[in-house]
Amino acid sequence: DAGVTQSPTHLIKTRGQQVTLRCSPKSGHDTVSWYQQALGQGPQFIFQYYEEEERQRGNFPDRFSGHQFPNYSSELNVNALLLGDSALYLCASSLQGFGNTIYFGEGSWLTVV
Amino acid sequence: DQQVKQNSPSLSVQEGRISILNCDYTNSMFDYFLWYKKYPAEGPTFLISISSIKDKNEDGRFTVFLNKSAKHLSLHIVPSQPGDSAVYFCAASRMNRDDKIIFGKGTRLHILP
């Protein structure tokens, strides 16, 4: 049973650049949520995708956008990167209607220099 | 405004003793609570949950207690083992709404030999 997989695991970008992170949900799951975890903080909710639409959004600027594909996989895009975007980006999946327990991938470490 | 608070950044406990991790929440709409455990370089893993209709849920060495009137929950680990050394996140949500899950900042637990 494949768990949540994310890629890439680590990447370094320069201020002003754009980044795309990818996520495949756990087998049988149809909902993907993205979280940002800065150093010393808990995961902060970015947004949730279901049926290829953004269903909920946290307090993040429009520079953060996403997409969900028909196979339920998802991408997180961040434009005009800032130093403060350096963080661990976590993807979590769940099954709609049973969404109160989410399962995380190992995350993508983004460093902005 | 932090809706889920873990006021102890770290906790050290002797192996074999009880570890008690505390969490407070402010939003009275929350009715489902979770604990996640995170090792370095890994994503958070689901540990145990409790809905507001219960005041206790037990799973092996892990027990979560919920005090709704105080808006407080705690995670008890008995007996504590070296492999329990990790960061523990308390999280809260609204039951059966596929609502976003809000996390606390985490408590780092050290199990001493």
Tell me what pLDDT residue A99 has. 61
- 3-class DSSP assignment, residue B6: coil
A97 to chain B: which residues are within 8 Å by CB?
A: 96, 98
**Inter-chain residue contact B100 with A44, CB threshold 8 Å:** no
Residue of A nearest to B41 (CA): A106
A49 to chain B nearest CA, in Å?
Answer: 11
Q: How far apart are CA A52 and CA A41, in angstroms?
A: 29
pLDDT tens digits, A45-88: 999 999 999 999 999 999 999 999 999 999 999 999 999 999 99
B62-67 and B56-59: which strand pairing? antiparallel
Q: How far apart are CA A85 and CA A79, in angstroms?
A: 10
Q: What are the φ and ψ backbone dihedral angles of A108, each rounded to 5 degrees?
A: -120, 120
What is the share, in percent, of chain B residues with pLDDT greater than 70? 96
- Token reading at A105: 């991938």
Tell the residue number behind the tokens 């492999």, with chain if given.
B83
Mention every residue, 6+ apart, whose C-beta is less than 8 A from residue B91: A42, B4, B33, B34, B35, B36, B101, B102, B103, B104
Q: What is the mean pLDDT of chain B?
A: 94
Q: How far apart are CA A54 and CA A61, in angstroms?
A: 14
Q: Which of B51, B53, B52, B78 is nearest to B63 (CA)?
A: B78
Tell me what pLDDT residue A77 has. 98
Residues paired with residue B32 on neighbouring β-strands, in sequence order:
B51, B93
B10-14 and B107-112: which strand pairing? parallel
Tell me what pLDDT residue A1 has. 60
pLDDT tens digits, B32-83: 999 999 998 889 999 999 999 999 999 999 999 999 999 999 999 999 999 9
Residues paired with residue A32 on neighbouring β-strands, in sequence order:
A49, A93
Give yes or no for residue B2 having a pLDDT over 90. no
A104 to chain B: which residues are within 8 Å by CB?
A: 36, 43-45
Tell me what pLDDT residue A97 has. 76
Give yes or no for residue B98 having a pLDDT over 80. no
Q: How confident is the model at residue B96 (pLDDT cuts 50, 70, 90)?
A: low
Q: Are the beta carbons of A37 and A43 closer than 8 angstroms?
A: yes
Lowest mean pLDDT: which of A16-20, B45-49, B96-100? B96-100
Q: Which of residues 60-89 of A touch B (CB under 8 A)?
A: none
Give yes or no for residue B109 having a pLDDT over 70. yes
Which of B4, B43, B100 is closest, CB to CB, to A56?
A: B100
Give yes or no for residue B99 having a pLDDT over 90. no
- Token reading at A2: 């494949």
- Token reading at A21: 């992170």
